[in-house]
Structure 1
Amino acid sequence: MTESTREPSLLDATCEDFVYDLADICPTLATQIGIDGHDGELQDFSPEYYDRVADRMRDLIADVDALNDTTDTSDDEDDFDDVDHLTAAILRDRLCTELDFHHRGELLRQLNNIESPIQTIRDSFALMPKVTEEDFEVITARMSRIPSALAGYRESLSEAAAQGDIASHRQIDAVISQCEALGETDSQLDELGLPADSPVVEEAKAAFAKMADWLSTELSPKASHDDAVGRERYQLFAELFHGRNLDLDGSYEWAAEELQKTVDEQKQLAKKLYDDDSVAGAYRRLNHDERYTIHGTDKLLEWMRSVNDDVAKVVPIPAEMPAVECDIDRAGSGGIFYTPPSDDMIRPGTMWWSVPEGQETFHTWQELTTVFHEGIPGHHLQHSYGLLNRGELNIWRRSVCWNAAHGEGWALYAEELMDGYHDDLGYRMGLLDSKRLRLARVMIDIGVHLKKTTPEGSGIWDAQYAKAFLRDNTAMAEANLAFELDRYMGWPGQAPSYALGYKDWIDLRDQALALGLTQDQFHAKALSLGSMPMDMLAHEVLNH
């Protein structure tokens, strides 16, 4: 990457102050970014905690507006430049949406199987160093705060429940199971390097067991079995993940059309592979093909590393980009995810494979495209470009701001960039399986939450229909499938960001090529701008 000669602006300094203040309020964010001094702390997730975050966001918006007003009347070094104007636009989009969530009480009621305080607490320990005696003292300090954090979380859930805002039974049951697992004898908390008989570990485990009991006896009886959030709430969530209003019905119809095209292509491919157009049959035969089979997590990690090493040799990457690490996540959900590097890039970006207990066999035909998605040229390349553009992107833009349609859309787009790998028909089937799943997600997510009519017109979308639809449209194992379904039901609006963001990236790429950019130039230019709503990215790429 070309080194920027731009000096940090007043707005950049204001954003940096905001991020460091946010790190004081939200220590798990500090851990995520790599800001020192907060790993031994833990926010309490109480209503007061959310109020503090919201107040600081309001202050930042006011500061941005004041800075912008003063720079419009003169032409001096304090004026907003083009980078500042874009930063201000992204800030207003992100923070105003998050403040709307706060105002509506959405943060107090937040409880689901993937992105709520229980997972935030649990997963924060994975990012903490575990080498020196001081490291384990810091882990002990954070763990000692788990009981008060869960007490504050119960306070928020109780306040939301008093307003009738309660998660569905499905999500409460999933979180009860997660809390019970954290409270058991063989808990993830026992894997952090602290002594087995450590009182702080036992107290933390007891706190999670208490949380499970409270959810079961106090919250669950008040919950609804209806998973749908309705059109109004869903539109709010969709705006959070996409940064703009979505045509929900149009998106659903587009996904249905693309899904059928993908199924047709899979049938043709199955015919080439096995002289039979049964896609499910092709999946089964590929799963029994030793060419695409790995046994054991050690071999799995070795394979993941080798794929990323090979891709890094053929994909244009910044010279300073660090290698991506690979590890096993003990949560056992079956999901695969990526955690970005710390802002200083000392802690590496890591691909995590959350292997369900007992799973020892893995199918590379299905998972190769996921390695592309999470590693190179997917999330790891994406985050690296932003982190390395330190001259133009302040710490908020490069390490805090995240737009799901931009981020997940890129990663899905990145899967298709690896054309050479997909010359192998088995891997090509895996690519199409991934694409098919993401398109099915759009229909499931919008269909269930808006209670749309099912594709064949025989009824209304619900979780039972969605599970059958998901099973028909993916090669995913049953344990993974159950987690995925709960995820869609409890995290409305997020799942469609992959396919709809991918569509935006394809459209933008085609427009950029029409203007004379090469594909590599387009990728470098777009990724160096960091995460933002796709309509803002299009304006920056096509008009500069």
Structure 2
Amino acid sequence: MSASRSAPAPASGSSVIHEISDAFVNDYAVLDPSTATYLGVPGQDENLTDYSPEGHQARAELAARALREIGAAEPATDGERLAKAVFQERVGLDVERHEAGLTTASLNVISSPVQDLRQVFDLMASDTADDWAVISTRLAKAPQALDGLRASLLHSADKGHVSAIRQVSGVAEQCETWAGLRGGTSFFATMVAAADKVDGVSDALRTDLRTGADAAARAYGEFARFLREELAPRAPKRDAVGEDHYRLESRYFTGAKLDLHEAYEWGWAEFSRIEAEMKQVANRIRPGSTLAEAAAALDADPRYRVHGQDALAAWMQQLSDRALAEVRDVHFDIPDPLMRLECKIAPPGGGVGAYYTGPTDDFSRPGRMWWSVPADREEFSTWREVSTVYHEGVPGHHLQIATAVHQAAELNRFQRLMCWVSGYGEGWALYSERLMRELGYLDDDGDLLGMLDAHLFRAARVVVDIGMHLELEIPKGTGFHEGERWTPDLGLEFMLTRTITDPTHVRDEIDRYLGWPGQAPSYKLGERLWLAAREEAKARQGADFDLKSFHTKALRAGAMGLDLLREQMIG
């Protein structure tokens, strides 16, 4: 992404509500340059976010001021009313989380400032010498950014807010990997080596890049030492956050006030339903087999295997390109800019799994699907991952996020670029997997078992995440430690023995749940609402119901909390 690219003019007219929302994105980008890069907002690529207590406070004050301004504004249209409600719900929760001390204390193995500071470099343009000059300037600021993060974590610790030791130790290991302290070259040295292949990069710039890379690697190594030696002794051993903390995080990730105990019971019912269907499919694959035996048979089948990480990326790209071409104009309206979706292998050091990053406002940086795999892994089973490509790409996150970005004539920049609700987004992506089955893309029993396992895994997340953090009792009739209360060890055992997901992924997942309370259930709970909305629309419209029109309306409205979505799609 070039820092010189100008932002498109606000496309939502002269509405005060849209103007406040657009201005908030611009002002926030100045205070959070890393997020600006993620969003594709230009002008901040040479800077890194200030994660010090003062930096967090400045962003909270901006949010509070914008909330006051938008609260006083009167909407004139239905679109403005929705835009106001979306802004108040999302930004209001940001302020609430800051006041609860959650932002300054944020540290986990999946999504916290320490990962953002590293991963932001993945999204920067690197095609020209000018691009590398921008990278060099930003890279030189990494040690200062980590110093600010260290100050916030100590500030939070003094107030009694420290992530559990599991998260502190896990993040320290990630930092050591990126610093090159666990074997191999540092991430930063590998990154800047690519500049040697770019025409016009001077010797002086190469020297600056290597100097910046060395300093960033040392800073990450020192940060790992800080985590292990200074923060870890103050970290609680208990992983569960308790019901009050969990309720706030659940509202943040779903945009809904959920009955957590009802959601826990529903999660068990959904898990049992999917498990029963999986057993039927497994029996077709290998009569009389268990789920694990059917999975082993598929893993051994050369039809479902690719060798090498480049081959995995090529397989992803081919499947993604086919899905884009085939659902366009049949099941979805897909504008030309959305027809480009890049599939990449993520740099090593992060958690295992796939994720999506959205396009810039002008689509010069396309949507991208990233697959994070162990650095030494070369064998991959595709039957497990077909539905993941649909989840992260088309019709999942890519259609959802990029469609909103493309709606410059209807949605303000906050709605298009900055609003993200996990229950809405991940719920849609999980709904998309099920939709592709309905459309005939998962008729192969191997691919179907992979899709069902993904859904079983997400149902298990509802049970395990809520169960572990609220330390709930495991009900009778489940066949698993009945009457005991959930612990992390039981959560790991359940995921390893009652799903057929890769064990390496499972172990990462347990750490993820415990450090990111409330996020994991948002997939299945969000899908539940999307399905309910579709069925309600069918019942209300009868013979006039059109699936393509339903999808178009849903995607063009942009992201919002699940309670708001229910009002829009059902009420």
The answer as to whether partners of 2:397 and 2:429 remain within 8 angstroms in 1 is yes
> Where does residue 450 of structure 2 map in the other structure?
430
The answer as to whether partners of 2:24 and 2:66 remain within 8 angstroms in 1 is yes
SS of alignment partner, residue 380 of structure 2: strand
User: 1:335 offset after TM fit, Å?
Assistant: 1.0
User: In the alignment, does 2:514 pair up with 1:489?
Assistant: yes
Distance 1:203 1:309 in 2: 40
Distance 1:541 1:436 in 2: 26
User: In the alignment, does 2:434 pair up with 1:409?
Assistant: no
Distance 1:377 1:154 in 2: 40
> Where does residue 192 of structure 1 map in the other structure?
191
Distance 1:476 1:141 in 2: 42
Partner AA of 1:148 in structure 2 = Q
SS of alignment partner, residue 350 of structure 1: strand
Pick closer, same or farther for the CA change 1:7–1:164 going to 2, 3 Å.
Answer: closer
More deviation in 444-453 or 510-519? 510-519
Q: 1:66 aligns with which of 72, 75, 91?
A: 72
Identity of aligned residues (%): 37
The answer as to whether partners of 2:468 and 2:488 remain within 8 angstroms in 1 is yes
After superposing on structure 2, the runs of 4+ consecutive aligned residues of structure 1 that deviate more than 6 Å are none
Partner AA of 1:65 in structure 2 = G
* Structure 2 residue ranges without an equivalent (≥5): 1-10, 194-205, 476-480
Distance 2:510 2:333 in 1: 35
The answer as to whether partners of 2:405 and 2:416 remain within 8 angstroms in 1 is yes
User: In the alignment, does 2:459 pair up with 1:467?
Assistant: no
Encode CA deviations 1:400-445: one digit per residue, 9 max, x unaligned: 0011100000000000111212211111111110110000001110
User: 1:264 offset after TM fit, Å?
Assistant: 1.0
Encode CA deviations 1:345-397: one digit per residue, 9 max, x unaligned: 11000000112011111111110010000000100011122112111111100
The answer as to whether partners of 1:61 and 1:92 remain within 8 angstroms in 2 is yes
User: In the alignment, does 2:553 pair up with 1:535?
Assistant: no
The aligned runs of 1:327-346 (5 Å cut-off) are 327-332=344-349, 333-346=351-364
SS of alignment partner, residue 59 of structure 1: helix
User: 1:519 offset after TM fit, Å?
Assistant: 1.2
Q: 1:521 aligns with which of 549, 554, 560?
A: 549
User: 1:6 offset after TM fit, Å?
Assistant: 6.7
Partner AA of 1:270 in structure 2 = A
Partner AA of 1:371 in structure 2 = V
> Where does residue 501 of structure 1 map in the other structure?
526
User: 1:446 offset after TM fit, Å?
Assistant: 0.3
> Where does residue 370 of structure 2 map in the other structure?
352
Distance 2:41 2:257 in 1: 34
Distance 2:277 2:425 in 1: 26
Distance 1:140 1:505 in 2: 44
Q: 2:90 aligns with which of 91, 94, 113?
A: 94
Q: 1:399 aligns with which of 404, 412, 417?
A: 417
Distance 1:542 1:336 in 2: 31
> Where does residue 334 of structure 2 map in the other structure?
318
Encode CA deviations 1:429-477: one digit per residue, 9 max, x unaligned: 1111011000000111001000011344242211111111111233332
SS of alignment partner, residue 362 of structure 1: strand
Partner AA of 1:346 in structure 2 = S
User: 1:31 offset after TM fit, Å?
Assistant: 0.6
Distance 1:542 1:529 in 2: 14
The answer as to whether partners of 2:189 and 2:210 remain within 8 angstroms in 1 is no
> Where does residue 316 of structure 2 map in the other structure?
304
User: In the alignment, does 2:477 pair up with 1:457?
Assistant: no
User: 1:541 offset after TM fit, Å?
Assistant: 2.9
User: 1:192 offset after TM fit, Å?
Assistant: 1.9
The answer as to whether partners of 2:21 and 2:87 remain within 8 angstroms in 1 is no
Q: 1:111 aligns with which of 91, 107, 113?
A: 107
The answer as to whether partners of 1:436 and 1:473 remain within 8 angstroms in 2 is no
Encode CA deviations 1:62-101: one digit per residue, 9 max, x unaligned: 1112222xxxxxxxxxx52111111111111111111111
Q: 2:147 aligns with which of 132, 136, 151?
A: 151
Distance 1:368 1:122 in 2: 28
Alignment length (residue pairs): 529
The answer as to whether partners of 1:268 and 1:277 remain within 8 angstroms in 2 is no
The answer as to whether partners of 2:50 and 2:56 remain within 8 angstroms in 1 is no
More deviation in 483-492 or 185-194? 185-194
User: 1:193 offset after TM fit, Å?
Assistant: 2.7
Distance 1:314 1:206 in 2: 48
Distance 2:464 2:304 in 1: 29
User: 1:238 offset after TM fit, Å?
Assistant: 0.2
Partner AA of 1:493 in structure 2 = G
Distance 2:413 2:226 in 1: 39
Distance 2:363 2:236 in 1: 44
Encode CA deviations 1:2-61: one digit per residue, 9 max, x unaligned: xxx973422212211111110100001111121222111011200101111011111111
Distance 1:376 1:323 in 2: 11
The answer as to whether partners of 1:130 and 1:193 remain within 8 angstroms in 2 is no
User: In the alignment, does 2:457 pair up with 1:441?
Assistant: no
SS of alignment partner, residue 83 of structure 2: helix
SS of alignment partner, residue 422 of structure 1: coil
The TM-score normalised by the length of structure 2 is 0.90
> Where does residue 82 of structure 1 map in the other structure?
78
User: 1:319 offset after TM fit, Å?
Assistant: 2.8
Task: Kindly report the root-mean-square deviation, in angstroms, between the aligned alpha carbons of the 2 structures.
Answer: 1.5
Partner AA of 1:95 in structure 2 = V
Distance 1:8 1:325 in 2: 35
User: In the alignment, does 2:188 pair up with 1:176?
Assistant: no
* Structure 1 residue ranges without an equivalent (≥5): 69-78
> Where does residue 401 of structure 2 map in the other structure?
383
User: 1:226 offset after TM fit, Å?
Assistant: 0.7
User: In the alignment, does 2:502 pair up with 1:477?
Assistant: yes
Distance 2:159 2:568 in 1: 43
Partner AA of 1:421 in structure 2 = Y
Distance 2:87 2:226 in 1: 38
> Where does residue 373 of structure 1 map in the other structure?
391
Partner AA of 1:207 in structure 2 = A
> Where does residue 128 of structure 1 map in the other structure?
124
SS of alignment partner, residue 485 of structure 2: coil
SS of alignment partner, residue 177 of structure 1: helix
Distance 2:446 2:179 in 1: 42
> Where does residue 220 of structure 2 map in the other structure?
208
Q: 2:299 aligns with which of 278, 287, 290?
A: 287
> Where does residue 73 of structure 1 map in the other structure?
none
Distance 1:120 1:268 in 2: 42
Distance 1:258 1:171 in 2: 29
Distance 1:82 1:152 in 2: 42
Distance 1:81 1:330 in 2: 45
The answer as to whether partners of 1:317 and 1:381 remain within 8 angstroms in 2 is no
